[in-house]
Structure formats: C-alpha cells, structure tokens
Amino acid sequence: MIEISHLRKEYGDAVPLKDVSTVINDGEVIAIIGPSGTGKSTLLRCLNLLEKPTSGSIKVDGVEITDRNCDISKLRMKMGMVFQSFNLFGHMTVIENLMYAPCKLLHKSRQEAYDRGMQLLRAVGLSGKALNYPDQLSGGQKQRIAIARTLAMDPDIILFDEPTSALDPTMVGEVEAVIKELSKGDKTLLIVTHEMRFARQVSSRIFYMDEGGIYEDGTPEQIFENPQKENTRRFIKKLKVLEFELTGVNNDYVGMFSDITRFCMKNQISPVLKNKIISVIEELCFTIILPKLRNIDMKISIEVSEPGDEAVIKMSYPDAFDPATTDDDISLKIVKARTESIKYTRQNDRSIVKVVVNYE
C-alpha cells in the first residue's frame, strides 16, 4: 500500500505538486493523465525518490520513504520504473541487461537469473533477441525488454512514465499489450500516459492531474463518461476554451472580437459558426443582458469540441435576470435563429446562461 499525504514538490518558483494526498492499494492499476506540466512525472519521481519531496510524507507498506534512514535500495527493489527512453545498458546483450540487477542486488546465481530472464523474454515475445544488443532492436522491442528487465527484479509496484510516447505509432500496440497483460496480475501499476484509449482500457482507477495535484480521482467510467469537475471535462472532451471577464466600464470589446476571430481560425472553426458565435454574443450579451446589470460583472466562455462543428457559449453574472424574459423581441429572435438551445439557471448567486451554437 502506498500512502501519500500532503506531498509538496517545488522547483524554485514552480510548484508542480502543491498538496497531494491519496492512498493506493495493492494491485490497483492507476492511469495518470492530465495536461503537460501538471506534475505527473514529478509524482512518479517523488515516489521512487528520484526527486526529494519538499515536504509531506510517502509511506510504502508502512515505511516512511522520505525518512533519512530509509534504505533506498530496498525501496527500489520493491518499486521498478519504466522510462519513456528505455534506459537499457547499451554495452550489454539483452539477456545480460535482464540478469545484471538480479545477480547484483538480489544475489541470484547466474543460472537462476538467466532462467528467469529467458522466461520473461518469452513473456514479452522476444526470446529470440536474448543475444542481441539494444542498438539492434526497434523502439517497441527495446521498451518490451525494459519492461522485462524491470520485472526481473520482481517488484510489487511498477511506475511507467509515458512508456509508449517515444515509439513509432506502429509499435505502440505491442508495448501496450505487454502492460495490459501485466495489469491482470497482482502488481500495483502507476502508468502516466497521454493515450486516453489505453488509459481507459488498462486501469481500474484514474488520476486526472491539474492545478498542482490530483484534481479528480475516479474509475475510468466516471472520469471518461461523467467527469465531475470542469477541467477534467474540458480535458476529456478535448475542449478548446476562450474566456473573457468583463468588469467596470473600460472593456476592450474590439479586442474581444478579434480574439474570438483568432481563436476560431486557430481551431479550424468555419466562418459560418464563427459568425454565429459573434452574433450571439453581440445580441444576447451586449444588447439583451448587459443593459440589465447593475454592475458590469460578466464572465463569458466559448468552448469548442474537437471536430469544431459546435460551440457552447456560457455567460455568468450576479443579477437574477433570465434573458428569455427580455422585452427586446427582435434581438431574442435573432439569437434563437442562430442557436440550438438556450438554458438559464442560477448557481451560487450567479445567473448562468448556456447557449449551444452549431454549424447546421
């Protein structure tokens, strides 16, 4: 069992992990996903002490590993790591790569280490490569060897940091298949990956990392089908988001429309949809809603999903005003003609208007 509590890691001003607490039970297979730079690698590197946490505690099977007296080599025997870049020993043959640590650290006999090594090579489908050097192998083969080498130490826990991201796409499948097979056993696996389909298939639990920690934690079904929090939803649906905040009187409305135009071009949104978005903001936001607000305090977000054929515009403001009750019939008609749906709700003392605009 791994118990992480109040883990913090700073690099100067950068604080990728602010305050991470979680418990990982034996045999769990956890996929760690999230945008770049959110501390996924840092978390793994803190777990096996490649990085020293700034503060907080990590216990592995009840032993505090950040303690100065902790036996790091013992920890490393319990916990293996597979890197994006394989890190095989280039001057050794494949089988020697697999035998080295078991002989050196576990004091296995050469015969014993060889037998186990060959067994593992068969398991990853590479027994024919035992006498080759790493340079003579493809990327996918190197990574399967790296996994076999980690398994040769028989660790209880294996950390994978983007094991397939350095591979040619044709080789991703063979490495994923080896990890999937492994996930059926009783080892605890933590897998950082940008391959969402794989994350979903292989894991029993997902950590979505963002904002300095584990932002959302759930089963693959929960995270992929029904994410509870905003950033998770945006990440899973690959939403591109543009946000504005209007406060006071000196808002740069012209700049706002040129930002929208640029955002639409960048995300390959058709001119038809772009014009609808602009027209909805002009009519609904500027003509219908803004004049009704006591103070200008409005947040606007525009979200587009991957194929770029639909946009969701959300506006929020404190006044309890439902735009459907406006007396400006003409503007309302224009908005309705350009939208799929308009929904008004109140949440946390703010009005939220959600408008769906599509290409059709």
Ligand X SMILES: Nc1ncnc2c1ncn2[C@@H]1O[C@H](COP(=O)(O)OP(=O)(O)OP(=O)(O)O)[C@@H](O)[C@H]1O
Write out the residues near Mg ion by the rule CB under 5 A: 41
Give the nearest distance from C-beta 40 to Mg ion in angstroms: 5
Query: Is 11 one of the binding residues for ligand X (CB under 6 A)?
Result: yes
Is residue 338 a contact partner of residue 300, using CB atoms and an 8 Å limit?
no
Token duo for residue 193: 């990956």
Residues 223-282 contacting ligand X, CB under 6 A? none
Query: Is 213 one of the binding residues for ligand X (CB under 6 A)?
Result: no
Give the nearest distance from C-beta 238 to Mg ion in angstroms: 19
Pairing assessment for the beta strands 157-161 and 188-192 based on DSSP bridges: parallel
Query: Is 117 one of the binding residues for ligand X (CB under 6 A)?
Result: no
Residues 34-53 contacting ligand X, CB under 6 A? 36-42
Among Mg ion, ligand X, none, the one that 27 touches (CB under a kind-dependent 5 to 8 A) is none
Give the nearest distance from C-beta 3 to ligand X in angstroms: 21
Q: Closer to ligand X by CB, 39 or 80: give it.
A: 39
Angstrom CA distances, 162 to 83, 209, 276, stand at 7, 14, 40
Token duo for residue 339: 């939208």
Residues 14-33 contacting ligand X, CB under 6 A? 14, 16
Give the nearest distance from C-beta 246 to ligand X in angstroms: 31
Among Mg ion, ligand X, none, the one that 37 touches (CB under a kind-dependent 5 to 8 A) is ligand X
Q: Closer to Mg ion by CB, 41 or 188: give it.
A: 41
Residue burial 1-28, b: 16+ Cβ < 10 Å; e: rest: ebbbeebbbeeeeebbbeebebebeeeb
Q: Closer to ligand X by CB, 41 or 97: give it.
A: 41
Sheet holding 297-304, edge to edge: 240-247, 297-304, 310-317, 350-358, 341-347
Q: Closer to ligand X by CB, 41 or 351: give it.
A: 41
Burial of 134 (0-12, 13-18, 19+ CB in 10 A): buried
Stretch that binds ligand X, among 11-19, 178-186, 280-288, 323-331 (CB under 6 A): 11-19
Give the nearest distance from C-beta 60 to ligand X in angstroms: 20
244 membership: H or E segment, kind and range: strand 240-247
Give the nearest distance from C-beta 32 to ligand X in angstroms: 8
Residues 125-154 contacting ligand X, CB under 6 A? none
Binding to ligand X by CB under 6 A, coded x per residue (else -) over 76-105, reads ------------------------------
Is residue 147 a contact partner of residue 123, using CB atoms and an 8 Å limit?
no
d(Cα 205, Cα 191) in Å, to the nearest integer? 11
- Tell me the CB-side half-sphere exposure of residue 205, using CA atoms within 13 A: 17
Q: Which residues contact ligand X by CB under 6 A?
A: 11, 14, 16, 36-42
